[in-house]
Amino acid sequence: MAAIKEFKGYRPPVELVAKIAELPYDVLDSEEARVITDKNPLSFFHVSKPEADLPVGTDPYSPAVYAKGRENLDRFISEGTLVQDKMGMLYLYTLVMNGRAQTGLLAGVSIDDYLNNVVKKHEYTREDKELDRVRHMEAISSHAGLVFLFYKEDGSKKDLFSKAMELPATYDFTAADGIRHIFRVIDDPAMIESFKTSFAKDILYIADGHHRAASAARVGLAKREQTPGAKDLESDWFMSVIFPHDQLMIMPYNRAVRDLNGRSKGSFIAEISKKFSVERNPIKTPASVHSFSMYLDKEWYLLKPLFSLPNDPVSVLDVSIMQNEILAPVLGIDNPRTSKRISFIGGIRGTSELEKLVDSGEYAVAFSMYPTSIIELIDVSDSGNVMPPKSTWFEPKLRDGIVIHMI
């Protein structure tokens, strides 16, 4: 069911890739990007977050920002910082974190499969974020970032992936955060066709990059309208890395809330005790599903539901239980997408970050979550539902700038 396609990627020379490759545009803010770009003229943030090259205070959604991104990309190409492959290729991308490796196929994925739900989603997108990436893609005429996909591994592709892993590594570098990135080029037509055939009956799932995928689909549809009758446009395919589900790691997405919604510490604990057992416990991370660690007034507590758990795939999620039983009814956070009183902290930052936020007085309480499982994500996606916002944090992160897809 899933259609994939090779493409002529633009890639850095081997000696430059470690300087160019950067984290996805949305994992840091403009000022953090500015610090990096000021020190590194080859950083891909010059393309993916071009407001870093404009005066402080520039509206990151202004036309000048997108134009700057195109100017920087054109410069990278003209200077040989990015060079186009001579033929359509697939690529193999391996990431190694703390000795654990995951390997995915980097390919073009059909926007029609996205639109027809062959590529399944698990979260809503925001219109403002979609429009930002639409304008960015249109300005730079390329997909600059990777969509992180996965498929349900049944063993049928293992031999093919193993054979591709025998190819020599084109890139092999370790980033500043300790993540190793290994990149192989698949230029053998027979192997390319084998990979395309192997995915023909698969459903794909978005792990990360919902806004990139949605924006690529919108740009692709617009390109079709602009060129009626044209067949197989490059914009019909968005750049993705497709991993087997059993290689992936999801970390928790923790929560911190600025106040107790007008309650004292005692009344807050009394209120949540109506639905949860609440006991002091020095364990900072829950040991099992359906348990929560809470940090309040320099103490850790363990929370466990006293009620019968729901059985539908969304409501039974820990992130749903937290939202439906504590955040909304007790803390008054009805819409976590828009509330300014809550922050979401990726598990990679650890529980020390939660303690830091609460101890600073800026936040009143924090919750350490048990991570959503990949099977839970699949169940929600297959049911046609979506998860609450900030349900999953995947590590390690793919790097932008290793390859781009011109449209």
Digit-coded pLDDT (tens) for 282-331: 999 999 999 999 999 999 999 999 999 998 999 999 999 999 999 999 99
Q: 196-214: buried (b, 16+ CB within 10 Å) or exposed (e) per residue?
A: bebbeebbbbbbbbbbbbb
Residue 231: predicted pLDDT: 87
What number does CATH give the domain 253-370?
3.30.1760
Residue 18: predicted pLDDT: 98
Residue 337: predicted pLDDT: 86
Please give the Cα distance from 187 to 85 (Å, whole number).
10
Residue 317, both tokens:
């999620």
What residues have CB less than 8 Å from 346, skipping those under 6 apart?
251, 253, 254, 393
Phi/psi at 369 (5° precision): -105, 155
Phi/psi at 257 (5° precision): -120, 135
Residue 229: predicted pLDDT: 86
Residue 362: strand, helix, or coil = coil
Give me the mean pLDDT over the 52-64 stretch.
95
Q: Which whole-number Å values give the CA distances from 129 to 133, 340, 399, 407, in the listed order? A: 7, 17, 20, 20
Give me the mean pLDDT over the 114-134 stretch.
94
Residue 334, both tokens:
């009805």
pTM of the model: 0.93
Q: What average pLDDT does the chain have? A: 96
Provide the pLDDT confidence category of residue 230 given band limits of 50, 70 and 90.
Answer: confident
Site of tokens 């004292």: 264
Domain boundaries, the chain: 4-249+396-406, 253-370
Digit-coded pLDDT (tens) for 245-280: 999 999 999 999 999 999 999 999 999 999 999 999
Give me the mean pLDDT over the 138-160 stretch.
97
Cis status of the peptide bond prior to 244, with omega within 30 of 0? no
Give me the mean pLDDT over the 60-69 stretch.
97
Residue 45: predicted pLDDT: 98
Digit-coded pLDDT (tens) for 326-343: 999 999 999 998 899 999
